[in-house]
Amino acid sequence: MELPENRLWTVEEAAYFLNVPVKTLYQWKWLGDGPPVRKMGRHLRYNPAKLRAWAEPEAQAA
């Protein structure tokens, strides 16, 4: 799957990137945990740069 960098990712795209089920992302959102997410109407959207930074925190420490 080719993930676009020029727009916000859908929950399906974010789940694919993180290799987790979509349900996990919704559960993290409900718990107030997980990667930064923006709610747009009834849909969740993820900023690719912020999602990468969340997934690889050690890269920022280096």
Residue 3 lies in a domain: no
Hey, is 50 helix, strand or coil? helix
Residue 25 lies in a domain: yes
Residue 62 lies in a domain: no
Provide the residue range defining the domain that includes 33.
11-57
The β-bridge partners of 24 are: none
Residue 1: per-residue pLDDT: 81
Residue 24 lies in a domain: yes
Q: How many domains does the chain have?
A: 1
Q: Long-range contact list for 48-55, CB < 8 A, 24+ apart?
A: 48/3, 48/4, 48/5, 48/8, 48/9, 48/17, 51/9, 51/14, 51/17, 51/18, 55/17, 55/18
Contact status, residue 46 vs residue 34, Cβ threshold 8 Å: no
pLDDT tens, per residue, the chain with 62 residues: 888 888 999 999 999 999 999 999 999 999 999 999 999 999 999 999 999 999 997 755 55
Residue 10: per-residue pLDDT: 96
Residue 1 lies in a domain: no
Residue 34: per-residue pLDDT: 92
